Amino acid sequence: MYRTCLSSITKVTNRLTSISINTEPSLRKMSNQSIADKFQLPKRWQGSTQSVWNEYTQLFLKYQPLSLAHGFTDSPVPKYITQQLAIATQNADHMLNQYARDFGHPRLVNVLSSLYSKLINRTIDPDTEVLITAGAYEALYASIHSHIDEGDEVIIIEPAFDSYEPVVKMCGGVVRYIPLRLKNPASDIITSADYVLDDAELEAVFNDKTKIIVINTPNNPCGKVFSREELTKIANLCKKYNVICVMDEVYEWMVYDDNEHVRICSLPGMWERTITIGSAGKALAVTGWKTGWALGPPNLISHLHLVHQNCVASIPTPLQEAIATVFEVELKRLDSPECYFNVLRLELQVKRDFMINVLKKSGMQPIIPQGGYFIIADWSALEDKVDLSQEPDAQKDYKFTKWMIKNIGLQAIPPTAFFNAANKSLMENCVRFCFVRKEENLHKAADILKKWTGKM
């Protein structure tokens, strides 16, 4: 899975070795400063550390556990999707192998504008209101960079995807955190709907300096799908304090039971102040294609254009063509069970239910996610079955997940990676499992947990 990643690490290491060997004494004399002294991490990046994704990829490579960690499928993607990429590169229109229009390949911005115009019941202009990005990561990066200055405030609802905070800080912005809290922690069955914001606490994080609130629905890692009522409350505060919403909706198609994915941009008066972010990687289970988008009013999207044009400039044309072709097909059958979004959702709901059952039987307390493809589970009841004394990490969930990798061969993600220091205690006894996995691998995970806990 990580072979490409490993070979690039080796190449970088080789290059670093050759740099130090070739440094001639005459060149070294030119300055008394060492490379290490002069080339420190710029101040705006200081304080950032290796992400949990990189750390846990290294652990995967080293220990080869069964991975229910990173958020991507281990199943083959339907051929009709992957074939579109081959077709795009070999198309009679050979220009599909050249640079795309910077702000998005016309065929892709057209189909996305048709799709989202239908979903939010408003006409979206493909030329000025859609930007194609290098995954949702770049859409988030460009949204924050193009609106945040020194001292501007950004509200982040925790648990929050770990890239939001460093980007805000890099822009000189100030983060105001507000955590989702469990309203009934002692209850037998807890769902992600039980994670709620306190109304007074929410209003207290808004002020005149607030420029952005970042909302992730469905939420990674807890699976919360914000209700219309909750989003309306947030929308009213955004209007009151003149704030824009950066909506991370990468899991928009993965919503279970009778939950509804509500797009805040469709609420009255909110299109003007919302940037909606999506990901083809998540929607079509092709995370390696790293293609996403930002939708919003021209005055906001044109700001993102400036960041994008001087960063990646354009996104690979064949990928955009292939994604556009697939979306054209899906748009026509959006309400049919054959639509890939519906197929994936139903498959995932079965896997979610299977894993909930496995985790409960093992003695953990899973929080049933309304959306996304992760489950948060509390492992406090199994504390006497682990020895965390060997792991040096400060956070208990890091110790626990490393213990699992090394002792039972199962990998999951420590959810405190999604919190700032003040709120980490909210999930220190929890672990995040990813269930977008082959059935056989979920069964293997069940066997591992059974063997370890002696339960089930």
Chain contacts with ligand PMP (rule: CB under 6 A): 71, 135-137, 161, 216, 220, 248, 250, 279, 281-282, 287, 292
Contact 194, 226 (CB under 8 A): no
List the structure tokens of 330: 């899906």
Q: Which does 159 bind (CB under 5 to 8 A by kind): ligand PMP, ligand GLN, none?
A: none
Distance of closest approach, residue 107 Cβ to ligand GLN, in angstroms: 27
Distance of closest approach, residue 220 Cβ to ligand PMP, in angstroms: 4
Q: Which does 104 bind (CB under 5 to 8 A by kind): ligand PMP, ligand GLN, none?
A: none
Tell me the residue nearest to ligand GLN as measured from the CB: 71
Q: Which does 53 bind (CB under 5 to 8 A by kind): ligand PMP, ligand GLN, none?
A: ligand GLN
Q: Which does 292 bind (CB under 5 to 8 A by kind): ligand GLN, ligand PMP, none?
A: ligand PMP
CA gap 383, 112 in Å, rounded: 48
The burial of 186, by beta-carbon neighbours within 10 Å (0-12 exposed, 13-18 middle, 19 or more buried), is given as exposed
Q: Which does 70 bind (CB under 5 to 8 A by kind): ligand GLN, ligand PMP, none?
A: ligand GLN
Name the residues that contact ligand GLN, by CB under 6 A: 53, 70-71, 220
Nearer to ligand GLN, 9 or 174 (CB): 9
Distance of closest approach, residue 366 Cβ to ligand PMP, in angstroms: 19
Distance of closest approach, residue 80 Cβ to ligand GLN, in angstroms: 25
Distance of closest approach, residue 216 Cβ to ligand GLN, in angstroms: 10
Distance of closest approach, residue 53 Cβ to ligand GLN, in angstroms: 3
The burial of 64, by beta-carbon neighbours within 10 Å (0-12 exposed, 13-18 middle, 19 or more buried), is given as exposed
Distance of closest approach, residue 163 Cβ to ligand PMP, in angstroms: 7
Closest alpha carbon to 344 in 318, 321, 326: 326
Nearer to ligand PMP, 283 or 408 (CB): 283
By DSSP bridging, strand 410-411 and strand 365-368 are unpaired
Contact 385, 453 (CB under 8 A): yes
| In 97-173, beta strands by DSSP E | 130-133, 153-158
List the structure tokens of 242: 């003149």
Nearer to ligand GLN, 52 or 85 (CB): 52
Distance of closest approach, residue 71 Cβ to ligand GLN, in angstroms: 3
Q: Which H/E stretch holds residue 214?
A: strand 210-216
**SS3 at position 21:** helix
Contact 247, 276 (CB under 8 A): yes
Q: Which does 65 bind (CB under 5 to 8 A by kind): ligand PMP, ligand GLN, none?
A: none
Q: Which does 109 bind (CB under 5 to 8 A by kind): ligand PMP, ligand GLN, none?
A: none
List the structure tokens of 161: 């995807």
Nearer to ligand GLN, 53 or 403 (CB): 53
CA gap 398, 390 in Å, rounded: 12
Nearer to ligand GLN, 232 or 420 (CB): 420
Q: What are the DSSP calls for 294-338, one per residue?
A: EE--HHHHHHHHHHHHTTT-S--HHHHHHHHHHHHHHHHTTTSTT
How many Cα atoms occupy the beta-carbon half-sphere of 317 within 13 Å? 16
Closest alpha carbon to 232 in 273, 206, 270: 270
Strand partners, 177: 156
Distance of closest approach, residue 187 Cβ to ligand PMP, in angstroms: 26
Residue 78: cis peptide before it, omega within 30 degrees of 0: no
Nearer to ligand PMP, 248 or 330 (CB): 248
CA gap 395, 426 in Å, rounded: 12
Q: Which does 279 bind (CB under 5 to 8 A by kind): ligand GLN, ligand PMP, none?
A: ligand PMP
Distance of closest approach, residue 358 Cβ to ligand GLN, in angstroms: 20
Q: Which does 192 bind (CB under 5 to 8 A by kind): ligand PMP, ligand GLN, none?
A: none
Nearer to ligand PMP, 284 or 377 (CB): 284
Please give the single-letter amino acid code of residue 70: H
Strand order in the sheet with 374-378: 190-191, 365-368, 374-378, 430-434
Nearer to ligand GLN, 70 or 273 (CB): 70
Nearer to ligand GLN, 48 or 242 (CB): 48
List the structure tokens of 168: 């805000």
Q: Which does 281 bind (CB under 5 to 8 A by kind): ligand GLN, ligand PMP, none?
A: ligand PMP
Nearer to ligand PMP, 57 or 279 (CB): 279
